[in-house]
Copies of this chain bind each other. A is one copy, B any other.
C-alpha cells in the first residue's frame, strides 16, 4: 500500500474516470460539480433499464441512499452486481441508516448482495450497521464512534470502512488510519458527506488499494475544506469556495495532510 496523494490526483485529472453516481436528489448538482472540479467525469443514471450498461463503462460506482425508494434500490442492486461482475469498485454511503428501519435494512441488503469495497458513513450510520445501539436523528449524526466500529465493519463485510467525524477513522481490518483534517464548516452545508463520497470514489477509480484511495479521498476533500474555510465562515460562500478549492489542489497542498497510519 502506497499513498500518493498528488500522483493519484494527477491520474484523475489525466484520465478523467467516469464516476457513476446513484445518489440522492439533494446533492446531485453539487456532487457532479465537486467531481468535475476534482478532474473526474460524473454521470448520474438510476433507471433499471440502463444502470448495468452505464456502470459497465464507468471507473467506479458510487451508491448513496440519501433519498431512496423501492425502484431506486432495485437499480442500486443491479448496478452493484454488474460492477462486481466487471471488477469495478463500489462505494456505499448508507445515508440515514439508523434513522429509519427502511434505510438500515436497505444498507444491509446492499452490503449482503453486492461486494462493497468502501463503506463510508458518519458515526450513527456506521454504528447502526455494526449492530451497536445508537440514537440517530435524521441524517446528521449526534453520536461518536471509533476505530473499533470501523474495524468491526471492515472485518464483517471484507471492505474498507470510513467513519467520518471530527476525526475520521479508516480501517480495512488489518490496517487503520486516523485523519484529522477537515473543518467545522462541513456541518453547516448540506451534502458534505455525499461530496466526500464522490471524491473518494474518484480516487478508487485510479488507485486499486482501497485503503489508500479512501485516505487519499478523505485528505483531498478535507484539505480543500480547510482552504475554503480560511476564505469564509459563511455557509453559502463556503459552498462556492469548496468547489473552487478542489480545483486548485497541488502538490504543496498535501503538506497540510494530518494522517496517522497504524
Judge whether B26 and A44 touch: CB under 8 Å: yes
Q: Is the CB of B190 within 8 A of A49?
A: no
In the bound complex, residues from chain B placing their C-beta under 8 Å from that of A45 are 67, 96, 100
| Beta-carbon nearest neighbor of A190 in chain B | B32
CB neighbors of B among A213-262 (8 A): 234-237, 239-244, 247-248
A47 CB–B CB distance under 8 Å: yes
In the complex with contacts A26-B29, A41-B138, A100-B45, A36-B188 CB distance below 8 A? yes
Q: Please, which residues of chain B bring their CB within 8 A of the CB of A20?
A: 138
Give the complex CA separation of A29 and B26 in angstroms: 5
Stretch at the interface among A52-60, A80-88, A163-171: A52-60
Q: Number of A interface residues at 8 Å Cβ cutoff, please give it.
A: 59
Contacts of A237 in B (CB 8 A): 240, 244
**Residues on B with beta carbons closer than 8 Å to the beta carbon of A188:** 36-37, 247
The answer on a CB contact under 8 Å between A103 and B50 is: yes
**A:124-151 near B, CB below 8 Å:** 137-140
* Cβ-closest chain B residue relative to A140: B41
**Residue ID in chain B nearest A26 by CB atoms:** B28
Which of chain B's residues have a CB closer than 8 A to the CB of A57? Answer: 99, 137-138
CB contacts (< 8 Å) of A122 on chain B: these are none
Q: Contacts A234-B247, A239-B240 given; 11 further ones with Cβ under 8 A?
A: A20-B138, A26-B28, A26-B29, A41-B140, A43-B96, A44-B66, A47-B68, A50-B103, A53-B101, A57-B138, A236-B243
